[in-house]
Chains A and B, each alone.
Chain A
Amino acid sequence: MSKYSNFDLIKKLKNVSILCSLLLLVAFSCVSTANAYQLKNYKWPQPSTTFYVDIPGENGLWNDAFEGAMYEWGVNTVFQYYIVSGTYEDPCDATEGKNGVKFSSTDCGDAWGSTTLAVCHTWYIASTSTITQTDIVFNSNEPWNVYSTSWSYNVNDFHRVAVHELGHALGLGHEDSGVSTIMGTYAGDITIPQQDDIDGVAALYGSACTYSISPTSGSFTSSGGSSSVSVTASSSTCAWTASESLSWVSLSPTSGTGSGTVTVSVSANTGSARSGSVTIAGKTYSISQAAPIPGKVTLISPLGTIKNTIPTFTWNEESSATFYYLYIWDENHNEVHKDWYTIADDNLNYDKANCSNGYCTVTLDFELEEGSYEWFIKVYNGYYQGDYSDGMSFTVQSNIQNIYYDDYDGDGYGNPNKSMSASSQP
Chain B
Amino acid sequence: MYHKTLSLISILVYLFLIPIPYGHAASVRQVTMDEMLQQCQFVFEGKVLALEAKENSQKRIHTYVTFKIQDIIKGEYSSETIILSFLGGTVGDVTMGVSDMKVPQVGEHGIYFVESLEKSQVHPLYGWSQGHFLVQSDNTGIDRVMTSNKQAVTGVMKDMSVQQMNSSQKTVPLLNKGVASGVTVALKDNDNKGLTAEEFKKILRDKMGMGQ
List residues of chain A with CB under 8 Å of any chain B CB: 8, 11-12, 15-16, 19, 22-23, 26, 30-31, 40, 42, 92-95, 107-127, 132, 150-151, 153, 156, 160-161, 164-165, 168, 173-174, 176, 178, 182-189
Q: Are B26 and A184 in contact (CB under 8 A)?
A: yes
A174-B58 Cα distance, complex, nearest whole Å: 27
Q: Are B178 and A185 in contact (CB under 8 A)?
A: yes
Question: Considering only CB atoms, which chain B residue lies closest to A132 in the complex?
Answer: B94
Q: Are A185 and B122 in contact (CB under 8 A)?
A: no
Stretch in B3-11, B68-76, B156-164, B202-210 with 4+ CB within 8 Å of A: B3-11
The interface residues of chain B lying within 8 Å CB-to-CB of A176 are 149, 176-178
Asked if A19 and B8 sit within 8 Å, CB to CB, the answer is yes
Give A121 to B187 CA distance when docked, in angstroms: 31
Name A188's contact: one of B23, B31, B59, B115 (CB within 8 Å): B23
B120 to chain A: which residues have CB within 8 Å? 109-111
Contact A122 B24, beta carbon cutoff 8 Å: no
Residues of B within 8 A of A30 (CB): 16, 174-175, 187
Is B12 part of the contact surface with A, judged by Cβ < 8 Å?
A: yes
Alpha-carbon distance A273/B151, docked complex (angstroms): 72
Contacting A at CB under 8 A, from B47-69, are: 58-60, 62
Q: With A94-B96, A115-B31 in contact, do A153 and B24 touch (Cβ < 8 Å)?
A: yes
Contact A124/B95 with A115-B29, A165-B27 known, Cβ cut-off 8 Å: yes
Stretch at the interface among B97-105, B136-144, B191-199: B97-105
Q: Min CB distance, A197 to chain B, in Å?
A: 12
> Are A124's CB and B97's CB within 8 A?
yes
Which one of A15, A107, A116 lies within 8 Å of B28 (CB-CB)?
A116
Query: A186, B93: Cβ atoms under 8 Å?
Result: no
- Chain B residues with Cβ below 8 Å from A19 are 5, 8-9, 12
Contact A184 B96 (CB under 8 A): no
Quote the shortest CB–CB distance from B82 to chain A (angstroms): 17
Q: What is B's interface to A at a CB cutoff of 8 Å?
A: 1, 4-5, 8-9, 12, 15-16, 20, 22-31, 39, 58-60, 62, 85, 87-88, 90, 93-100, 115-116, 119-124, 126-130, 149, 170-172, 174-178, 187
Top 6 A-B residue pairs of the complex, sorted by shortest distance between their CB atoms: A164-B26, A185-B178, A94-B59, A178-B174, A168-B99, A120-B99
For the A-B complex with A116-B128, A164-B27 known, give 5 more contacts whose Cβ atoms are closer than 8 Å.
A42-B97, A110-B87, A115-B29, A117-B29, A121-B88
CB nearest neighbor in B for A129: B95
* B172 nearest CB neighbor, chain A only: A188
Q: How far is the CA of A92 from the CA of B123 in the complex (A)?
A: 16
**Are B121 and A110 in contact, with the CB atoms below 8 A?**
yes
Contact status B97-A156, CB under 8 Å:
no
Query: Measured between C-beta atoms, what is the minimum distance from B141 to chain A in Å?
Result: 29
Known interface pairs A110-B122, A115-B126, A186-B25; A23-B12 also in contact (CB < 8 Å):
yes
Partner of B26, one of A123, A150, A186: A186
Q: Are A112 and B122 in contact (CB under 8 A)?
A: yes
Of A8, A93, A185, the residue contacting B176 (CB under 8 A) is A185
- How many Å lie between the Cα of A39 and that of B101 in the bound state? 14
Please measure, in the bound complex, the distance between the C-alpha atom of A358 and the C-alpha atom of B158, giving whole angstroms.
Answer: 97
Contact of A125 among B93, B119, B122 (CB under 8 A): B93
Contact between A186 and B97, CB atoms less than 8 A apart: no
Q: How far is the CA of A161 from the CA of B25 in the complex (A)?
A: 9
Can you list 9 residue pairs at the A/B interface with Cβ under 8 Å? Answer: A111-B119, A117-B28, A119-B99, A120-B99, A122-B97, A124-B94, A153-B23, A164-B26, A185-B28
- CB contacts (< 8 Å) of B59 on chain A: these are 93-95, 123
Instruction: Give chain B residues whose Cβ lies under 8 Å from the Cβ of A189.
Output: 171
Please determine whether A115 and B127 come into contact, CB atoms closer than 8 angstroms: yes
Return A73 CB to nearest CB of chain B, in Å.
14
Q: Are A31 and B116 in contact (CB under 8 A)?
A: no
Contact B58 A93 (CB under 8 A): yes
A111 in contact with B121 (CB, 8 Å):
yes
Cβ B1 vs Cβ A125 within 8 A? no
Distance between Cα atoms of A79 and B175 in the complex (Å): 29
| Chain A residues closer than 8 Å to B25, beta-carbon distance | 115, 117, 185-187
For the complex, what is the distance from the CA of A177 to the CA of B177, rounded to whole Å?
7
In the complex with contacts A16-B8, A94-B60, A114-B39, A120-B98 CB distance below 8 A: yes
CA distance A119 to B94 in the complex (A): 19
Shortest distance from the beta carbon of A227 to any chain B beta carbon, whole Å: 50
Contact between A184 and B172, CB atoms less than 8 A apart: yes
With A174-B100, A185-B176 as known contacts, state yes or no: A111 contacts B26, CB within 8 Å.
Answer: no
In the complex, which of the residues A31, A123, A150 contacts B94, with contact meaning CB atoms closer than 8 Å? A123
Measured CB to CB, the closest approach of chain A to B2, in angstroms, equals 10
Interface contact A161-B26, CB-CB below 8 Å? yes
